[in-house]
A and B are shown apart, each in its own frame.
Chain A
Amino acid sequence: MHQVFKKPVSLKDIQTHFCPGCHHGTFHRLVAEAMDEFGVQERTIGVASVGCSVFLYGYFDIDVVEAPHGRAPAVATGVKRARPDSFVFTYQGDGDLAAIGTSEIIHAANRGEDITVIFVNNTTYGMTGGQMAPTTLVGQRTSTSPYGRNRSKDGAPIRMAELLAQLEGVAFSARVAVNNPKNLMDAKRQIKKAFRYQVEGKGFSFIEALSSCPTNWGMDPLSANERVGSEMCSYFPLGVFKNDSGL
């Protein structure tokens, strides 16, 4: 009998601070697995953002730079240009990437920086206590949209994976979820594909990862997991929106 499933080497053996049922942990593991598979751990420089994902360095056994809120793609640009041989990825939430950091993500993507961006969309600001995010669904109640997101006042949620796929500089863009085994196995494939793009020097790759946030949604972990499939996936369709090199 041998072990067929174990913790990836690139992930530290530490319990995360994430709430029960939060998909951040799963995405951390999938990213670490991809790192192991491509053997890039030793040359990886991760760029941590602000929000629940800030403790990246606590969980990944890799070199990490911490970026100001939203600025991870600019920091990653500086890192990659100065050290083109390193494997560089950012890991950002939706407040970070789709609100305060829209300028940085769009221009890093448009320049076609040879980096990988993992964007975790849980339709809310997790760390600050569940406020409305640019990705909050219409009608969704949050601590700053107590009457539900109002489309005419707050606008509609932003679909980043599709938006970025429009840019010439983006080589790969996909949206994935891990709410059931089928989606999860696909997420694993897409994350590895995004990594492959950078490993082969084929340009900017982007993964939008749909995640639950049981605590801030006011749900138990199983209901929150259910909501990812029922409500989020219908507005944020899973799929590949750009695959330049057909990897």
Chain B
Amino acid sequence: MTQRLFMKGNEALAMAAIEAGCRYYFGYPITPQSDIPEYMSRELPKLGGEFIQAESEIASINMLLGASATGVRAMTSSSSPGISLKQEGISYMAGAELPGVIVNICRSGPGLGGIDASQADYFQAVKGGGHGGYHIIVLAPSSVQEMYDLTMLAFDLSDIYRIPAMVFGDSVIGQMKESFVPNPRPRRELSPKDWVVRGKGSGAQRVVKSLYLGDGELEAHNWKLHGRYGVLKEKETRWEEFLLDDAELVVAAFGSAARIAKSAVMEARGKGLRVGLLRPITLFPFPEKAFRAVTERCKKVLTVELNAGQMVEDVRLSVARDADVLFYGRPPGAGSLPTPEELLVQIEKNY
């Protein structure tokens, strides 16, 4: 019989990181993600790993940078204000082609904002939150099961493409308890990390860096990174389709918003409305082709987000030329989480 566990999303994520071989965690407490460092501080020492509660988010991301440079699997986690602080290090990691997993259990902002569920950091996550014009891999779980599975995937994709990967959740997904199956780490072909610093031994010097000053060097480096983003788009895009075949209206939503939207879609179906859901699982690479394909037939997309409209821009860029893209969302904060009934009203209005 398959073992099922009943745990918080944040704990499932931490458990998955360990299953994926992560033995190094660096972090700093912030609500609503502190279950992750707490779990890691308890479990990693038993496994011969290292847990450091760093002096800041900045130090945490740079410890991750250092550990990743030696080739080990390592992780940091935080929530929005802390992720802002990590952007410097994420940019350096992206520039130096370092893998590493960064978890953002988003809270609402701007500024100190609040601790409620939010998707207002979508732009920051998918557009390259730091300087320099880069992207990172962004995975958006919408269940505790996905907190578990996508965390393992984040480690694999990050290693394969040498791009930092972010697991992008919020307090709904992080704090709720749900049953899930703790799947074993998938078998995957991973190339040897022949670029890591370990002490040169008798071989040639290895350098992990993002500084390129030679004529044409940096441009070539950037084209190489952008080429890799293209490969990601081709090969690693993931999404869920729900009742799309006959849909007259497609609801687009990710993460916790997609859960609420799914309930609304089912209620709409109960009322005889042909409504479906397209849920991006990878926010970068964005499932452009999926949106293009569905809007060849269905010309109406209602994007629902826990923010004032961010992913809707990527939806607009992806759909067929004659499709209408509508938006419903509310800036996050206490009391602003929409109910399925509220979304149903929007579906009926726009159907």
Contacts and interface: CB of A to CB of B under 8 A. Distances in A.
A and B touch in the complex (CB under 8 A): yes
Nearest to A84: B50
Nearest to A100: B58
Contacts of A66: 92, 96, 207-211
Interface residues of B, number: 39
Contacts of B59: 71, 74, 77, 103-104, 107
Given A62-B200, A65-B69, A78 B63 contact: yes
Interface stretch (A18-26, A37-45, A158-166, A194-202): A37-45
Contact of A71 (B62, B71, B200, B211): B62
Given A54-B211, A66-B96, A76 B205 contact: no
Nearest to B100: A78
A81 B67 CA distance: 7
B199 A74 contact: no
A75 B205 CA distance: 19
Interface string B58-77: 11101111111111101000
B88 A64 contact: no
Interface residues of A, number: 35
Nearest to A77: B63
Given A78-B67, A79-B66, A63 B197 contact: yes
A78 B58 contact: no
A193 B160 CA distance: 42
B201 interface: yes
Contacts of B68: 78
Contacts of B205: 57, 61-64
Interface string A129-148: 00000000000000000000
A79 B62 contact: no
Nearest to A81: B50
Interface string B28-54: 000000000000000000000010101
A77 B200 contact: no
A82 B66 contact: yes
Nearest to B56: A103
Contacts of A64: 197, 205-209
A68 interface: yes
A205 interface: no
Contacts of A86: 70, 198-199
Given A47-B66, A78-B74, A87-B199, 10 more contacts: A42-B201, A43-B199, A54-B211, A57-B209, A62-B205, A64-B197, A64-B205, A71-B89, A74-B60, A82-B70
30 contacts: A42-B201, A45-B198, A47-B66, A61-B200, A63-B198, A63-B200, A63-B207, A65-B66, A65-B207, A67-B92, A68-B92, A71-B65, A71-B88, A74-B54, A78-B62, A78-B65, A78-B66, A78-B70, A78-B74, A81-B50, A82-B67, A83-B70, A86-B198, A103-B55, A103-B59, A104-B55, A104-B59, A104-B62, A107-B55, A107-B59
Interface of A: 41-45, 47-48, 54, 57, 61-68, 71, 74-83, 86-87, 103-104, 106-107, 111
Interface of B: 24, 26, 50, 52, 54-56, 58-60, 62-72, 74, 88-89, 92, 96, 197-202, 205-211
